[in-house]
Amino acid sequence: MKAGPALRAVRRAAVISDLHLSPGDDAAIDSFIEFINTLAGVVDELFILGDLFEAYVGAKHLRMGRYPEVVSALLGLERNGIRVTALKGNRDFLLDGQFTKKTGVRVAGDEDAIVSGGKKILFVHGDLFCIRDVRYQAMRRKLRSPVLRVASRALPLSISLKIAAKLRKTSVDEIRMKTPAEMGIVTSEVEARLAEGYDTVVCGHVHDPRVESLRNGTLVVLPAWPAAPGTCWIREGTILFV
């Protein structure tokens, strides 16, 4: 059996995914900061399950546009005793220790897990469940290579942004040629993770929110926040959307 991430006890959590923030997207950034400012005394931890940013090319990116306000808001959560954990998404897979130093956000990598009210909950971004999308999975492996990570730190911001824009255009063009079934979550992949002993798997990525009862447990797919049904709240193992 695959060894998953170490379980941590968390009583109250907010869970969101796929915000796709851009430096000049005033509406999205205002909504996120307003949301952050409501969390004190309400949750113990905020989980962001990937794609906090539309693109992320390293800590140098955080100087752009209104990103310093996002950094300040995240640091404010830390000062209020609220832990923030982020997973790497397909848009912000370059999140690393430098991001943690700037924001106080713990970067958990591809997955994280908690126990809440006796329920074991696994968090993932969700793209690894989309195994029918063979071209995406191949590109994912290439983009996450150590060589690319080193290169991203060395390149000037302007060049990094041009590369990111080109990759995004390629992704959009490919999506137009794929079917929903090809890009969707393969249930057997989720079942395999539930079989490791989790009661619930929570993910994002596909922007197709739902709660689905499976043979071994429950799959919760989040919206592209803040789209309906909104934020996922965990209270002593109970999952609610508001």
Range of the domain at 178: 8-241
129 part of a folded domain:
yes
Nearest to 43 by CA among 87, 4, 84, 89: 84
Percent of the chain with pLDDT over 90: 80
196 part of a folded domain:
yes
1 part of a folded domain:
no
3 part of a folded domain:
no
Longest pairwise C-alpha distance within the chain: 49
* Gap between the Cα atoms of 79 and 241, Å rounded: 26
Among the ranges given (112-126, 145-159, 196-210), the one the predictor scored with the smallest mean pLDDT: 145-159
The distance in angstroms from the start CA to the end CA of the chain is 35
2 part of a folded domain:
no
Span 168-181, pLDDT tens digits: 787 777 777 788 88
Beta strands 232-235; 12-16: pairing state: antiparallel
CATH number for the domain including 218? 3.60.21.10
Which pTM value belongs to this model? Answer: 0.93
Helix (H) or strand (E) holding 73: helix 67-79
Stretch 211-225: mean pLDDT: 97
Predicted confidence band at 2 (pLDDT cuts at 50, 70, 90)?
low
Domains contained in the chain, number: 1
pLDDT above 60 for 197:
yes
Nearest to 23 by CA among 51, 80, 59, 64: 64
Among the ranges given (19-23, 37-41, 113-117, 144-148), the one the predictor scored with the smallest mean pLDDT: 144-148
**pLDDT value, residue 100:** 97
Q: Contacts by 191-195 with C-beta closer than 8 Å and gap 24+?
A: 191/215, 191/216, 193/4, 193/122, 193/124, 194/219, 195/1
Task: Identify whether the C-beta of residue 113 lies closer than 8 Å to the C-beta of residue 121.
Answer: yes
* Gap between the Cα atoms of 135 and 161, Å rounded: 23
234 part of a folded domain:
yes
Is 166 exposed, middle or buried (CB count within 10 Å of its CB: 0-12, 13-18, 19+)? exposed
* Gap between the Cα atoms of 240 and 219, Å rounded: 13
Helix (H) or strand (E) holding 31: helix 26-36
**pLDDT value, residue 1:** 47
105 part of a folded domain:
yes
Mean residue pLDDT of the chain comes to 93
138 part of a folded domain:
yes
